[in-house]
Structure formats: C-alpha cells, structure tokens
Structure 1
Amino acid sequence: MHLFFRDRMKGIAMVLVGASLWGISGTVAQALFHREGIHADWLVTVRLLCSGLVLLIWASLNKQKIWAVWRSLRDAGQILCFGLIGLLGVQYTYFISIEAGNATTATLLQYLGPAFITLYVALRLKRWPQRKDVAALALALLGTFLLVTNGSLKGLTVPVPAVVWGLLSALTAAFYTVYPSEMIRRWGSMTTIGWGMLIGGLGMGLFSPPWTIRDAHLSVHSLLLVAFVVLFGTLISFYLYIDSLRYLSPAEVGVLGSAEPLSAAVMSVIWLHHVPGLFEMIGGISIMATVAILSSKKNERKVITVTQKGI
C-alpha cells in the first residue's frame, strides 16, 4: 500500500511539473515574440528540429527501431502526414496565436481540442452525443465566449487573429491526437513524435531556416529563453508526462494536465503583467472543466494522450 501511494504521488508530481513546464514555455515564447523580436515561424523551426533530433536519439538508445517508419510507402506517407499536418500544424498555429495575442488565451483555446474530438467521434460513429458530451460542449462554447469577450457583447477583448489561430490550433491538436494512435502502437511514442517533430521542423525550415532570423538580434538572454522552450518546455516536460502514465491512468493525467493553462496564466501575471478579467478567468475554468468531463468518460480517455503533449 505504501509503495502504491508513493508511486501515485510520484506520477502526480511528474505530470504536474511536466504540464506546468509546457504552460511556462508558452509564456516564455510570448516574451520572445513581444520583447525580443523573435518570430513564431523561426521558433517553431528551431523547437521542432532540436526536439525531434533529441527524441530520435533517445529512442535509438532505448533500442527502438527508429527506421522502421520508412519500410513502406504507406508508413512513410503516414509519418509525413503526421509531421507536416499534425505536429507542424499545431506548433505553428499555437505559436502564431501567442504572437498575435497572449500565451494564456492561446493555451486555453488549444484546450478545446477534446471538444472537437468528441464531435468527430459522434460524426464517425453516426450517433448523437451523450448528455455528458452535450454538457461539455456547451460549457466549452460558454468558456470560449467568456474568454475572448470578457463577458461583453460589444466585441472581442482578444485580437481576432489570435482567436482564429487559437481555434485552428485546437483543430490541429484534435487531428494529431487521433491520427497517430496506430503508429504509436507499432513504433512507440518517442519514435513517432520524434520523426513527426523532425519532419515538421524540416518543412517549416523551408520557409524559415534556423540560420536566418528576421528583425531580431539574438542575445545571450534570448538564446537562454529559446533553450528553455526546447529543453524544459518540450523535452523534459514530454519525458515527465509520458513517464507519469506508468503510475496514473490517461484520464487522471488528462485532468492533472490542466496545470498547463494555469501555469501559463500565473506566469503571465507575474512576469508579463497580463491580468485577465473576471469573465476571462471564468471562461478559462469552464474550458478546463470541459477537459475534465471528457477525460472522465471511458470512451473518451484517448482524448488526452501523450501525443497531444508534443506541444
């Protein structure tokens, strides 16, 4: 019993730290965009390339067959689709949303991904959503409205591009959460996400190579912030999140993952002095409650998976 309790506490600590690092990295990215003059496309290229290479090396050292994904045209097509549409799509839309607005709003909007997955499942199975699904979707809509308007009918309190890119990040997050499940079963999460990140980084690098940077001067301070996004906001957080699944169920990890938007909000207040309004906070809580409701369902426990946390 003591060992079981200790393992559960270890798992809870790991997912809370991992999710918090993701949230903090979003705030760090906001500082890079708004204070250091770094552009989102360049940061996406660097983050994906560095993280993908390290994950593949890590997977190889753990005896995973990292080259198995290229043994057939079908497998190659799947991993290319996952990398270019899934991982690059969610990374780019998420960071552009931060660049146009702020990390807290972008992170919370991306948390609408499970609601889109619920709609997708209902359409694919050709069945009406259950009552709990409908309640969660209504809560998600209410939360989104309050988040972007602060409860006012006069207009948005968040820039329109930030809202559009944030919703697109939720859609792409839903896609890359659902799409790679077969690949992860066959090749493992590190190999699948490692190749996805590397491919996404190469794709973004065609438009924004890592050796070119526009309208910004890389200082020691900005390089340290970039290193934090790559090391702590991606690699360490990913490891903690995936390893926590040894001690906790996916549903529990999904609910505890709500520490991500909370940490982004707290860091935004402390570091960037962005204080959300009352209705914005209520909207954020509503969106996180949506994730908790959907994660508690047996049929929806794949909604929050390790693939969603490649971000």
Structure 2
Amino acid sequence: MNNKGYLLAITAGIIWGTLGLGTLNLSNFKLNSSEIAFIRVSFAFILGMIYIFIIKRDKLKPSYFNKGLIVKIIFSGVLSQGLLNILYANSVIRVGTITGIMLLATGPLFTILLSKIFFKEKLGIIKIISLITAFLGTFILVTEGNLGVLKFDYIGIVYGILSGLSYGLFPIFNKKIIETLDPIVATTLTFGIAAIFLSFFIDKILFIKIFTNIEIFKSCIFYALVPTLIPYLLYSLSMKFIPPSTAGIISLLEIPSAALIGVFLLDERIGFIKGIGILIILLGIIISKISYKKV
C-alpha cells in the first residue's frame, strides 16, 4: 500500500506548485501577505466544511472528539498553519525570497527528527541521503548554485528556521490526528483554527474587498481549493500509508512543480543548472522510496 501513499504525496506536491499562481493573482489586488494567508485558510475551511456537511456529516460526531484530540488540532492549526505564514513572511522580508524558500525547505529535516522522537521511526542512512539529495536539488534549483544570492540577517534566518520547524510539524500533528479523525475533517478543522489565529493580524475591511469584488472572490475560491485544500488532503491521506518523514521529503516536489508551472503558464525560463536541480530533487524522492522499503 506504500505505492498509494507515494502517489498521494507526489500528487500533493505537484498541485502545491500552483500556490505561486494563486498568491500572485491575489497580490495583484493589492492584498498583503497576512491577508492572503488568512484568505487561504479561511476559504479552505469554509469549502471543506461544505463538503463535510454534504458528504461526511457523520464524521463530525462528538464521539470522535476528546480533549487530547482537540488540543492537537489547535496546536496544528496555530503552529503548522497560522504561525507558519507569519514566520515565513517575516523571513522573506528580512532575507529575501530565495533565502526564505531555502530555510522553509528545512521542514522535512525537522519532520524526520520529530518522527524519530514521537514515532520511534528508524532514520537509516538511505533516508538521510534522500533528504540531503532533495535539499541539494532544491538549493541548486532556487539559487542556480550561486551562494551570493543568499542573504544573511540573523533575525531573518531565525524566522526562516522557525518557519521550517513550523512546516515540519504539520505531518507530525496530522499523523496523530488522522488516527482518530477522517483526514478531510482533520485538515479542515486545522484550517479553521489557523483562520481564527490569523484573523488577529488582518484589517477587517478585507471582507468588504472580498465580497464586493467578484474577481477577488473567484481568486479566493481557486486559492483555497487548488493549492490548499486538495493538496493538504492528499498529503494527509498519504500518511496513512507512508511515514511522515517520507511524506515530508516528497513535499519538496512543490518547488520544481512551481518552477515548471512558471515555464508553461508565466513564460519563465529554466536554464541548464535549474534543470539539474529538478532532476536531483526527483532523485532524492526516488531514494526515499528505497529507504521506505528497507524500513
């Protein structure tokens, strides 16, 4: 069944590559990073709840919930969704997009370390090689191998590392939550908590902007559904079949996916070095499958 887990995680990574399109589209309406982050999780929560009430209402029975589970959902929503957006935005402001992405890409490292602690998951040399390979490919793709494009600001780096930790926490929390809850219910409720958290960082006039402009509203629906709800659901489902650490490594596929989408839809170019980076990331993901078979 691990092949199904790989397929789900790979599909999630590919679809996550559309995140840049949605972000760019909303930024064209002069929305700031906090507003865009709030739109992402709040609309994902609304769409997820609509689906649940129509298709899976029985999965919301009170009997599924206990104090421990509710605490995990709250922590997941705040730490691995809400706080992630705040930390990443502050990192990018201080060190730039390229360095910010590289620091965010440390997420799978934290997932592996935390999986070892909480799930007693075996690391193994092959899994470590897989992570290093995928991270190296990410570095080459994002920087084209030029260390000079990286910016160093101590506070910005701390924000970036914390954003990586926040990103790496999602598989850890979700692995435990979906042992009890249906994955779409778990993911949707996490978005709801994140929306409440992020609501404290936005101007309430945002709601007027959204509901008085049909183009913004349509962009919000796309942003919440395609690069958010669907891939997060697939990612959560994948962890029923593969370890969180493996899913975390595969999630790095989002970066080459975004690069290729930029080529086909935004007329961006991928040179030889970036192409090598993409191939190395794919090699890292293939190695992770070998690692899983040996566990």
**In 1, Cα distance between equivalents of 2:108 and 2:238:** 20
Please tell me whether the aligned partners of residues 30 and 98 of structure 1 are also in contact (alpha carbons under 8 angstroms).
no
> Aligned AA for 2:18?
I
1:27 Cα deviation after fit: 2.5
Corresponding residue of 1:42: 35
Please tell me whether the aligned partners of residues 174 and 236 of structure 2 are also in contact (alpha carbons under 8 angstroms).
no
Corresponding residue of 1:80: 74
Say whether 1:267 aligns with 2:251.
Answer: no
**In 2, Cα distance between equivalents of 1:124 and 1:97:** 28
Please tell me whether the aligned partners of residues 66 and 187 of structure 1 are also in contact (alpha carbons under 8 angstroms).
no
Corresponding residue of 1:289: 283
Corresponding residue of 1:117: 111
**Aligned 1:55-204 pairs, distance under 5 A:** 55-60=48-53, 61-62=55-56, 63-65=58-60, 67-68=62-63, 71-72=66-67, 74-93=68-87, 101=97, 106=101, 110=104, 112-122=106-116, 130-153=124-147, 155-156=148-149, 168-204=162-198
Say whether 1:52 aligns with 2:45.
Answer: yes
**In 1, Cα distance between equivalents of 2:274 and 2:85:** 24
Q: Give the 3 Å change call, closer, same or farther, for CA 131–20 of structure 1 in structure 2.
A: closer
RMSD: 4.5
Between the aligned residues of both structures, percent identity stands at 20
Q: Which moved more, 1:227-236 or 1:89-98?
A: 89-98
> Aligned AA for 1:267?
I
Q: Which runs of 5+ in 2 are unaligned?
A: none
**In 2, Cα distance between equivalents of 1:139 and 1:282:** 12
Q: Give the 3 Å change call, closer, same or farther, for CA 31–271 of structure 1 in structure 2.
A: farther
Please tell me whether the aligned partners of residues 18 and 226 of structure 2 are also in contact (alpha carbons under 8 angstroms).
no
1:237 Cα deviation after fit: 4.3
> Aligned AA for 2:40?
R
> Aligned AA for 2:273?
F
**In 2, Cα distance between equivalents of 1:166 and 1:280:** 23
1:23 to 17, 20, 28: 17
Output the TM-score relative to the length of structure 1.
0.68
Please tell me whether the aligned partners of residues 113 and 174 of structure 1 are also in contact (alpha carbons under 8 angstroms).
yes
Please tell me whether the aligned partners of residues 42 and 192 of structure 2 are also in contact (alpha carbons under 8 angstroms).
yes
Q: Give the 3 Å change call, closer, same or farther, for CA 115–28 of structure 1 in structure 2.
A: same
**In 1, Cα distance between equivalents of 2:118 and 2:12:** 32
Please tell me whether the aligned partners of residues 85 and 172 of structure 1 are also in contact (alpha carbons under 8 angstroms).
yes
Q: Give the 3 Å change call, closer, same or farther, for CA 289–36 of structure 1 in structure 2.
A: farther
**In 2, Cα distance between equivalents of 1:127 and 1:16:** 21
The secondary structure found in structure 2 opposite 1:56 is: helix
Larger fraction in helix: 2
Corresponding residue of 1:307: none
Q: Give the 3 Å change call, closer, same or farther, for CA 282–170 of structure 1 in structure 2.
A: farther
1:98 Cα deviation after fit: 7.8
**In 1, Cα distance between equivalents of 2:80 and 2:170:** 5
Please tell me whether the aligned partners of residues 39 and 214 of structure 1 are also in contact (alpha carbons under 8 angstroms).
no
The secondary structure found in structure 2 opposite 1:186 is: coil
Q: Give the 3 Å change call, closer, same or farther, for CA 20–131 of structure 1 in structure 2.
A: closer
**In 2, Cα distance between equivalents of 1:293 and 1:133:** 7
Please tell me whether the aligned partners of residues 90 and 172 of structure 1 are also in contact (alpha carbons under 8 angstroms).
yes
